[in-house]
Structure 1
Amino acid sequence: MFQRDISPVCYKLHLPILSSLFEGLHKPAISIGKSVNGSPLWVVEISDKPGQREAEPAFKFIGNVHGDEPVGREVLMQLAYWLCDNYLKDPLATLIVENTHLHILPTLNPDGFALRRRGNANNIDLNRDFPDQFFPINDDINYRQPETRAIMSWIKQEHFTASATLHGGALVANYPWDGSRDKRKQYYGCPDDKAFRYMASVYSQSHYNMSLSKEFRGGITNGALWYPIYGGMQDWNYIHGGCFELTLEISDVKWPKASELLVIWKQNKMSMLNLVASLVKTGVHGRIFAADTGRPIPGSLMVKGIDSKISASRTFGDYHRILAPGESYEVVASMEGFTPKRTRIMLEREAMNLDFILDPDGTNAQTKPLPNDCGCDDGIKPFLIREAYLWLYLLVLFFLLALYLLFRRRISSRLARNPPKRPVAI
């Protein structure tokens, strides 16, 4: 069982204990899948409204991707405890709990951890098991590991804005791309390179000594420049989930002594908190609406000059776009069946709120009903509801008519047996 004082038995982590510790701030630990050997992959969501959809950015932390890098799982458990203990006491904890949905998966590779080796029970490196953009590896889902499939399903279910995986063996904040087209060791930046460098710097500069690195300038590095990998989770998140993910190496030593874990936690504490808080404190946030109905719509948001887009949520039409501050951007909101709208903004250090109201473009696409998060068709639902009310009305009317006819019949029968007396004039 995890000990809150980070005692020498720290490496024996038991996640379901969270189910009874932080009542009200989290929903009970849920499993997003199972490992090769059947161990649940436990996740805890921390929020003031856990389990509910809100127009807020969502962030996820994942630890122990490699079984022989256990520091991340211990630090993430301590983060969960600290946030719940300090909610309404510490301003940063309160900001995160009330304005984000934080998901924590302390261990993605419980089997590898138990075996004290890098790969999972099948000895597969999970950070090489995702579909790759440059080379057609792992394209057959049947050949992917169950832990990999669980992450891919989770990303499709949740609308994550950003995330980070915690590793060990170095001290640096790594950002995409992780590989290059020609497999050479070189700087290979993604379309959101400036935003990723900003995110990595937020972590590095908040760390005790990461930014002082002699090996990595500023304590950050492009993955392909450091050493190229293929089939990594970081790039897949960005391409297929619109989720800005960092790979964080938080300890030079993979298996530090248990007595050193508290030091590592303290060195990374502000980095983790500031990284999550940056989703609220910076960037562009807003909602996308349809002008004809006033309803939120799941449109897309693009920035001119940046070849990537993010999607607004289906429930609230909210978007959360990470951008490097201190620059001017032309932001474009669009959706099929609507006329795109664009505007130019100057993004300072603080976050900017920007809503879009899109006009239908007059094509048939505008009348196409929009699916919602439950998979229902909102265009059909009102019709079904109206039809149900009509049938209910007719049923009630028929029932009242039957009662009326029955009443008339009984009155007529009584009058036939006892005719009324004629009034007498006096």
Structure 2
Amino acid sequence: MSWIRLSEFAIILLNVFSIIYPAIARGGEYTSQFPGRHLLDDGDSKPSADVAKGYMSNAELENAIMAFGERCSNISRIYSIGRSVGGLPLWVMEISDNPGREEPEPAFKFIGNVHGDEPVGRELLILLANWLCDNYVKDPLAKFIVENVHLHILPSMNPDGFALRKRGNAKNVDLNRDFPDQFFSNNNVEDGRQPETKAIMRWLRRIQFTASASLHGGALVANYPWDGTQSKRRDYYACPDDETFRYLAGVYSHSHYNMSLSKEFPEGITNGAAWYPIYGGMQDWNYIHAGCLELTLEISDNKWPNASELPTIWEYNRMSMLNLVATVAKNGVHGRIFSSDNGKPLPASIMVEGINQTMKARVGLADYHRLLAPKMKYEVKASMPGYKSKSTAVMLENVTTLDFILDPEAGRVSKVLETACDCTGTTKSNLEVVDILAHPQLEVSLLVVVTLAFLLLLLTRKFCLNPPKQRQLPVSKRPIIV
């Protein structure tokens, strides 16, 4: 019996149980205590109302998101990650052939409108979602993305700033300077941060994203970590995955109409600190605290171009956006990790020799998705307390499927792994389970529950004798099992 069928049976069991018991984008004027970027001395002045002519209002954006959800309900779901200072919901569109369900697939997120006066991203992200809806049956790239990636799109992180026609949020805080920063220990607490920032941080605790990109305006370049430096000086400051980030930035730049032709930025890419250091930025936080490889994409020279230019900007960026998302499934080392004694999935750590950055397999499915620069040889290691580590060398052409089966250490009994809360809402929380067990009618159906649990145990034992194999990505070679 496959892992998917076993999972479906477990869900059925729970359902029965429940029935029984009912660029300036990166720079610009700086407003926090840390040094910032000052590309242009434009301050944070509010532009005229005419500048928004032709752009969607917040109400129109919400309507567009809901209309997309209704039109494309077979490959999407709409959810909110929180609210802005002004109480506006931060809507997300998830696009997948199984939206809302956990699968051993990488997740990617786009975030637009981080700065209120950079609205191009929110327009392009609505266009991207609708393009995928219209083309996933007939276009091979759209089909590949829908079937192999869980894509999450947040068109506007800062709807209040957009409504005010200004950079910061309703409290005049630059949201791209509001995240915990590695160089300022007094800035590493969550309390006191803006609700929009907290919403992003909670989001990444719920969903383990492989990669990400935020869309900004005011330049034309793909920016990658680090954003700041230890010395606080403008200088190239490489993160451990510098080669991989350069590769991802190059995917976007070279797929763009003219970004890679830039005379200011060779190949149309730049290290953030080499451009100009910032602190409290979102992309560095993503990488350090969530293992998510995020780019900051400057997609238009003008922060607020005339709305008539949006179709052209969309065409210039369309293939870049699609190729970047597809790369998370077409590149790197992907796999799952199991215990050799009973076949249970292990949320182990994945390390690559020479790269000082540990990635985690996901709790539950134990899948991992490690992006790496192609055409290189890597030593990949899986480790977990109570188990013997294993490693193997892979020559990465584009994508490799690599599963690990770890042996328990002699004389040690592995602790039963507890799965995390199912954030999709398909299972009950601990509090709900406690409430069920406290139900006064429990003894009436106890026999039914015990019988179903016994059947599940028999199926589980059968499953453990035949551990599941990793779902093979369409462009992958035969899976490697270590």
1:16 is matched with which residue: 53, 66, 69? 66
2:349 is matched with which residue: 300, 310, 328? 300
Q: Counterparts of 1:145 and 1:372 in 2: how far apart (Å)?
A: 30
For the aligned residues, what is the CA RMSD?
Answer: 2.1
Moved >2 Å (runs of 4+): 7-19, 136-142, 373-377, 390-393
Give the TM-score, by structure 1 length: 0.85
Q: Counterparts of 1:46 and 1:322 in 2: how far apart (Å)?
A: 21
1:320 is matched with which residue: 359, 366, 369? 369
User: What's the CA shift for 1:16?
Assistant: 2.7
2:419 is matched with which residue: 372, 394, 400? 372
User: What's the CA shift for 1:316?
Assistant: 1.2
User: What's the CA shift for 1:391?
Assistant: 7.0
Matched, 1:195 2:244: yes
Which residues of 2 match residues 10-409 of structure 1 at below 5 A? Answer: 10-12=55-57, 13-14=61-62, 15-27=65-77, 29-348=78-397, 350-362=398-410, 364=412, 366-374=413-421, 392=447
Q: Counterparts of 1:391 and 1:153 in 2: how far apart (Å)?
A: 37
Q: Counterparts of 2:87 and 2:311 in 1: how far apart (Å)?
A: 30
User: What's the CA shift for 1:195?
Assistant: 0.3
User: What's the CA shift for 1:234?
Assistant: 0.2
Q: Counterparts of 1:334 and 1:161 in 2: how far apart (Å)?
A: 19
User: What's the CA shift for 1:362?
Assistant: 2.5
Amino acid of the structure 2 residue aligned with 1:18: F
Q: Counterparts of 1:363 and 1:371 in 2: how far apart (Å)?
A: 22
SS at match of 1:293: coil
Deviations 1:212-251 (A, max 9, x none): 0000000000000001000011000001101000000000
Unaligned runs of 5+ in 1: 1-6, 378-383, 397-426
Contact 1:174 1:200 in 2 (8 A): yes
Unaligned runs of 5+ in 2: 1-51, 423-428, 431-436, 438-442, 452-482
**1 or 2 for the larger relative contact order (CA 8 Å, sep ≥6)?**
2
Q: Counterparts of 1:206 and 1:98 in 2: how far apart (Å)?
A: 22
User: What's the CA shift for 1:8?
Assistant: 5.8
SS at match of 1:332: strand
Contact 1:303 1:329 in 2 (8 A): yes
SS at match of 2:280: coil
Contact 2:340 2:406 in 1 (8 A): yes
1:3 paired residue number: none
Q: Counterparts of 2:66 and 2:354 in 1: how far apart (Å)?
A: 46
User: What's the CA shift for 1:143?
Assistant: 1.3
Task: Please say which of residues 12-21 and 147-156 is displaced more in the overlay.
Answer: 12-21
User: What's the CA shift for 1:111?
Assistant: 0.3
User: What's the CA shift for 1:363?
Assistant: 5.0
Quickly say closer, same or farther: Cα 1:137–1:107, change in 2 above 3 A: farther
Deviations 1:333-380 (A, max 9, x none): 1111100000011111x211111000001254x421111133889xxx
User: What's the CA shift for 1:140?
Assistant: 3.5
Amino acid of the structure 2 residue aligned with 1:124: V
Q: Counterparts of 1:8 and 1:98 in 2: how far apart (Å)?
A: 37
User: What's the CA shift for 1:282?
Assistant: 1.2
Amino acid of the structure 2 residue aligned with 1:23: S
Contact 1:339 1:361 in 2 (8 A): yes
Contact 2:262 2:268 in 1 (8 A): yes
Deviations 1:133-171 (A, max 9, x none): 011243332210000000000000001000000000000
- The size of the alignment, in residue pairs, is 377
SS at match of 1:182: coil
2:475 paired residue number: none
Contact 2:349 2:384 in 1 (8 A): yes
Give the TM-score, by structure 2 length: 0.76
SS at match of 2:295: strand
Structure with the greater alpha carbon radius of gyration? 1
